[in-house]
Homo-oligomer: A and B are copies of this chain.
Amino acid sequence: QYPSTQNTKELQPLMANPICETTEQKKQQPQGPERPNSHQKFKAKLMQWVSYIAGDMAAFGEWMKGQFILLQILDWVLRGAAQVMFVNNPLSGLIIFAGLILQNRWWALNGFVGTLFATISALIIGQNRGAIANGLYGYNGILVGLLMAVFSNAGDWYWWLLLPNIFMSMACPIVSSALASINSRWDLPVFTLPFNILVCLHMVATGHYNHHFPQVLFQPRTSMHNLTWSELDYPKLFRSIPVGIGQVYGCDNAWTGGIFMIALFISSPITFAHATIGSAVGMVSGLALAAPFQNIYFGLWGYNCVLACIAIGGMFYALTWQTHLLAVACAFFCAYLGSAIANVMSTFGLPACTWPFCLSALTFLLITTEIKNIYKLPLANVTYPEKNLIYFWKMKKEERIAKQRKKQEKDMASQQKKEEIMAAMEMKAHQHLDVCTVDVQQEETTQNRPDRNSEATELNLTKL
């Protein structure tokens, strides 16, 4: 009610909007078929059960709203943990935490502390409750917490680290909110930019030679490394795919990566598929650019591509085969960019973090094109790939119907006109008939021409 300059649009969630349609859909589902046989019944039951744990678990989220606040915060924290991979699902979050504990308990603790304090901070500085409940303020927190522990040179269980961890986690919603004010002008999400900014901030502010919070040493490459192609280890290369997915959370354990893949699959198979493709693309790019094999095995070429491929392939664009190809192209671009950024950052003693993902995904989301099948969803309607796809199909169908109706009306109008003219003709003598029909035909052609043009461009576009 204040004459505030703060755009209400900017108050919208950072990455996606909570839409509670699914619960309504679910309620309607059982009512649907009047006389289902046992097979149909079983299928419907199964679908219902799947809907409870898959997707964004909206029903669970609704139910949570009535629970005790601490339970709610736990839900938000779990969703936040999964939102790193664009998954808004507390079960996936729980599985991800299991994977983290398998990797390193100290890291897992730091990750939990980070998510928790980021969420609390978002509550304190008065951010949108719906966005918080979807974990959109937590995912930067978990990454900040985890990676500060991963890159700390003070060893595990160095408890002082929790202090900067909490400080930086609490700064997450501030940076998120500020970046959202900028990015919302282009209807773009903030991705993991706050995490990148804050972890780099902490690492470069302290550095390797700090007394309180020393960091792992990163140094630029100053000589040629060995590269013997015969030494290429194929099992390790294959294992780099799950490791690449694990590296999104800074984990180099292939089992942890595998657990993360399960977490992705239960929420969204499309996300799972693109994560796998992204990791593979990253690995191939590493080989193409003659990267040290050790880095490829360690998943350093994969994790950015994983995120970029998920983001473009179905999450922020509706999944069509064009956007699928775009996602693969983005993954390649991201791998290239990853190598570049890693080299630049090493000059400052910094890792690449997920800068390559953020920059490449933002670039690919900023593209404007005349191809209709590359459809960027409005940020407020982004949920998860499957649901985004349904949204896109629905919209396309409605449009087609509207088009058809318009055409029918036009045809009818033209028919009517023709008939009127015919009637008028019959009243008149026959000698003038030829001229009139020519007129009518001309009229038709002029009416049709724009349509034909647009069809031509459509044809042209689908040649892509």
Contact = CB atoms under 8 A, between A and B. Distances in A.
Contact of A369 (B125, B202, B211, B343): B125
A225 B200 contact: no
Given A178-B366, A374-B126, A343 B336 contact: no
A430 interface: no
Nearest to A206: B289
Nearest to A340: B205
Nearest to A209: B224
A1 B451 CA distance: 13
Interface residues of A, number: 79
Interface in A336-384: 336-337, 339-340, 343-344, 347-348, 362-372, 374-376, 378-379
A1 B399 contact: yes
A431 interface: no
B205 A343 contact: yes
Interface string A115-128: 00000000011111
A284 interface: no
Given A6-B376, A180-B368, 5 more contacts: A2-B395, A181-B186, A201-B337, A209-B223, A213-B290
29 contacts: A2-B395, A3-B378, A4-B375, A5-B187, A5-B379, A6-B368, A6-B369, A10-B368, A125-B369, A126-B371, A128-B370, A167-B336, A174-B363, A174-B364, A177-B367, A178-B366, A180-B368, A181-B366, A200-B340, A202-B340, A204-B339, A204-B340, A205-B337, A207-B343, A209-B222, A209-B223, A211-B227, A213-B290, A347-B347
